[in-house]
Amino acid sequence: MSEKVTIAWGLRRILRDKVGDWCRPRVVFTTLTAVALVAPHALADEPMQRVTLEQALEMFEENSLELRLVAADRDRALGFARQARAHPNPVVAFSHEGLSESGRDYSESYVTLSQRLEWPGRRGARAETSDEEAAVLQSRLDAERRRLAFEVKRVFIEAAAAEERVGIVRDVRAVFRMAEESGQERFREGDLSGYDVRRLRIERARYENLGASAEIDLNSARLRLASLILPDAPGIAPTAAPEGAPPSEGELEEKKAIVVALERRAEMRSAEAQLAAANASIRYLTTFTGPDVTVTGGYKRQSDGFNGFFVGVNVPLPTFDRRKGDLEAAEADARGALARVDLTRRSIENDVRRALVAYASLSGRVSLIRNQLLSEVDDLLRIARVSYSEGEMSLLELLDAAEAFRESQILRSRLSSEHWISYYDLERAMGGVPVAATTGGTER
């Protein structure tokens, strides 16, 4: 017989054998306590792979499909940058001309070697442009890695908090289930009014719905976590939420924090590399004011005995195509890249300000609500049960206490998870551990 069936059978036997005792508050108190203690174990989830936050981040680095896409773009840009340094290949040609007239034969044979010589500075400008474009993709990869790492941390915290909320709702739901069932017995015995019975049914229905919704939220959070770190897994559960509070940052000065973020953020490096690439592209296109020269040399032999070497130079005349349109487009790209640098700087500054305000607000609320106002609510339900068992509290007052206990525990859980998420968001906004803002800005 399974554990759930055994518990249900035992509860039904208690209800059958103790109908006459349900009028006594102490019996209800004892039964509710037993259910609250046993229910979490009886309703435990099926085994699921559990990971720590460090393991989740390692799995993300190994399995992230989003990172693979950006890394492929970066590798392609590196290949183009390597190719941009290549010199033009020489060309070797062999030719033979056979002629005849009135029985007389004549032939000429050639061996030709040609080499195109690029205008001075063109190859260097082309290589610089490709290098900066590769730097753009490398910075974009770094930015995407940090953004997705924050998503992993956020979803990890949310999954842990969702599991904690499921446990809280299960505990209180078990109390309401037993209360509603005991209320039915007491109503048949005439010890409980019809209004109280209907009220208990409403409360139980509400908690049944809350429990189902909490389970759905938990499953969704685990699926989101798996999609980030192990896409093929049906779901991954965190071991536990981070304990305690995030590291204390003291009073982070906004100006210093912004300076540090501008130095660290890969988005800023990417925008600056885009500007450098646009300027290098302009320098590359200006080299086309001078033509590429092709030098040709070779050996010629004739059938009449004449032979010798020859040399030639080919110079294209920039009569119709002077690359002016390409140059104008490159100059427009440079103006856009400069505007993008300013826009990125402002975006980072606002991002840091927003993260600082959010973190300060959460820190203040945690200090007041979680650490002070709700610091002594863990025994609220126990006190209410004792009061009920001694006849100092009605059944509905006990249920109100259970509801207050649930709300306080969920509020504490939500504040703790939001506090950690705001810390990791500040870490993302500053491009590294926020505490470094007070010590010079080296990323850790």
Question: Does pLDDT of 149 surpass 90?
Answer: yes
> Best-predicted range by mean pLDDT among 201-210, 250-259, 374-383?
201-210
Selection from 46, 21, 17, 40 nearest residue 175 by Cα: 40
Exposed, middle or buried by CB within 10 Å (0-12, 13-18, 19+), for 41? Answer: exposed
For the segment 62-85, the average pLDDT, to the nearest whole number, is: 93
Pairing of strands 50-51, 237-238: parallel
For the segment 149-178, the average pLDDT, to the nearest whole number, is: 89
**How confident is the prediction for the chain on average, in pLDDT?**
82
- Asked whether residue 444 is assigned to any structural domain, the reply reads no
Does residue 57 contact residue 152 with C-beta atoms inside 8 Å?
A: yes
Higher pLDDT: 122 or 7? It is 122
Dihedral class, residue 169 (left if φ above 0, else alpha if ψ from -120 to 50, else beta): alpha
Query: Which structural domain, as residue segments, surrounds residue 250?
Result: 3-438
Higher pLDDT: 20 or 254? It is 254
Question: Does pLDDT of 288 surpass 60?
Answer: yes
Least confident of 258-267, 279-288, 361-370: 361-370
Which CATH number goes with the domain that contains 325? 1.20.1600.10
Least confident of 21-25, 233-237, 264-268, 292-296: 21-25
For the segment 416-427, the average pLDDT, to the nearest whole number, is: 92
- Asked whether residue 237 is assigned to any structural domain, the reply reads yes
For the segment 256-263, the average pLDDT, to the nearest whole number, is: 92
Pure H helices in 43-193: 53-63, 65-84, 122-188
Query: What pLDDT score was predicted for residue 397?
Result: 82
Question: Does pLDDT of 34 surpass 60?
Answer: no
Give the CA distances from residue 199 to residues 32, 179, 206, 400, 436, in Å, rounded to whole numbers and listed in that order: 18, 11, 11, 11, 55
For the segment 356-371, the average pLDDT, to the nearest whole number, is: 87
The string of pLDDT tens digits covering residues 322-356 is 788 989 999 999 999 999 999 999 999 999 999 99
**Domains: count for the chain:** 1
Percent of the chain residues past pLDDT 70, beyond the cut: 85
Question: Does pLDDT of 32 surpass 60?
Answer: no
Number of Cβ within 10 Å of residue 227's Cβ equals 17
Question: Does pLDDT of 298 surpass 90?
Answer: yes
Higher pLDDT: 203 or 435? It is 203
Does residue 114 contact residue 294 with C-beta atoms inside 8 Å?
A: yes
Higher pLDDT: 207 or 186? It is 207
Query: What pLDDT score was predicted for residue 389?
Result: 63
Number of Cβ within 10 Å of residue 426's Cβ equals 27
The amino acid that residue 221 corresponds to is A
- Asked whether residue 443 is assigned to any structural domain, the reply reads no
